[in-house]
Amino acid sequence: MDNRELWTALDMDLEKHDDFLAPIPTVFTSLFLDRPNRPKGMGYFDTVVGDVHGIRVHELYAKKQAGGKVFSTFCVYVPEEIIVATGSASIGLCAGAQYTVPSGEKVLPRNLCPLIKSTMGFKLDRICPYFQVSDWVIGETTCDGKKKAWEILNKYIPTYVMELPQKKETKDVSLWEEEVREFASFIERETKVKLTAENLAQGIETINNKRLALQRLADLRKHTPAPIHGLDVLLINQLSFFDDPVRFAAQVNALCDELDQRVKEGIGAAPADAPRILVTGTPQPLPAWKLHALIEQAGAVVVGEETCTGERYYKDITERADNVGDMLTNIAKRPLKVNCACFTPNQGRFEDIVHMAENLKADAVIDFSLQFCQPYGVESYFVGKEMEKKHIPYLRLESDFSEEDQGQLLTRIEALLEMIRV
């Protein structure tokens, strides 16, 4: 089966899909492939993007043909270990393309975060093969926009919603643990696979290994000169939600071996005196590359992301246990260490930002919110205050997935870099 046969089998709108994909090779070449000093290990990730709607979708389709299931998720709180334990696939589907925003706006208010509109648009337009190959969407009650969007999305694809508490008190932890257990039962019912100590331990191990590989990569960025561009790491983080977890972890580790060598030899992706930037805020799902591209185009290097397409996804791993009950408890515990702005209060996030800025020797923090994102937009107040207190240069930016404001954003980033350089 070639790609077009596959897309037809998945009931995709081929004409629209061609239109959507047409500019991507040119954009990808200029942003990624044409850049100097890229590690060779990026070759694998470039290939994955080069055939982003091909190889991996064929694998998922084959899994379904063999009786397996595909679950799509939209938040780092959804426990993919449980899905993977049953031999099913877990795919992170948050979308970051302006192309599908107008379609999303047909059923959602215009003044809603572009991530939600873009995601909805991909389903309505039938141009995302990952959506089309999915049996279920797993939503969560994080922000209000997502929570209500699931009700609409459920009209187009079966949508299961996990209730995430908004605080982290003892009773909230119990509620979340209960929610994780119910989710485990749901996955068992849907996949007709019973969770056992063996398969769940394997699921935990697989996802832990993926997170450990990403931690290793993140840690290498603390070196001066930075051995890899932030834009390349963002791409890897974005692909971590799509790719086969075992193969992905092996490729990230192979890249890290190469970066270890670069560090030893003092080879950097950017000059040693390039300003080092930590990005915090809302996630930047595939293919939202604008912010990192602009920062690095201005001559800086992004050395870390306190976001869900960064540190929040991989900073903690699930502790091992020897029976299913304790494993589910540990699976529930891990994401509650993630400090998303959907929680109140969220003091841990400010501590995370400061810790990362110090560890990565960041010269400045850029706090980025997607337009109309209330949790991160409002929380910026405290991020700014904390940066002021710690005397860390700070810039707050708000944008969407369009290209219209690139000039404006670049001017503000350049002003920040000038300030750092003096």
Q: Does 146 bind ligand SF4 (CB under 6 A)?
A: yes
Contact assessment for residue 208 and residue 102, using Cβ atoms and an 8 Å cutoff:
no
Q: Using CB under 6 A as the criterion, what x/- string covers residues 274-293 for binding ligand SF4? A: --------xx----------
- Residues 300 and 279: beta-carbon distance below 8 Å: no
User: Can you tell me the distance from the alpha carbon of 36 to that of 223, in angstroms, rounded to the nearest whole number?
Assistant: 19
Query: 3-state class of 126 per DSSP?
Result: coil
| Residues within window 105-134 making contact with ligand SF4, judged by CB under 6 A | 113, 115-116
Tell me how far apart the alpha carbons of residues 3 and 33 are, in angstroms, rounded to a whole number. Answer: 24
Toward ligand SF4, which CB reaches closer, 116 or 413? 116
State the burial class of residue 351 (Cβ atoms within 10 Å of its Cβ: 0-12, 13-18, 19+): exposed
Using the minimum distance from each CB to ligand SF4, give the nearer residue, 69 or 117: 117
Strands 364-370 and 301-306, sheet pairing = unpaired
Site size for ligand SF4 (CB under 6 A): 21
Q: Is 375 in the site for ligand SF4 (CB under 6 A)?
A: yes
* Near ligand SF4 in 335-354, by CB under 6 A: 338, 340, 342
CB of 89 or CB of 116, closer to ligand SF4: 116
Containing 405, the helix (H) or strand (E) segment is: none
C-alpha angle 359-360-362 in degrees, rounded to nearest 5: 115
Q: Least distance from C-beta 370 to ligand SF4, angstroms? A: 5
167, two tokens: 């605080």
Which three-class secondary structure state does DSSP give residue 92? strand
Interface residue with ligand SF4 among 20, 136, 160, 376 (CB under 6 A) is 376
User: Of the candidates 132, 156, 114, 136, which has an alpha carbon nearest to the alpha carbon of residue 16?
Assistant: 132
* Near ligand SF4 in 319-338, by CB under 6 A: 338
Which is nearer to ligand SF4, 145 or 203 (by Cβ)?
Answer: 145
Binding mask 34-73 for ligand SF4 (x = CB under 6 A): ----------------------------------------
Q: Interface residues with ligand SF4 (CB under 6 A)?
A: 75-77, 113, 115-116, 142-143, 145-146, 282-283, 308, 312, 338, 340, 342, 370, 373, 375-376
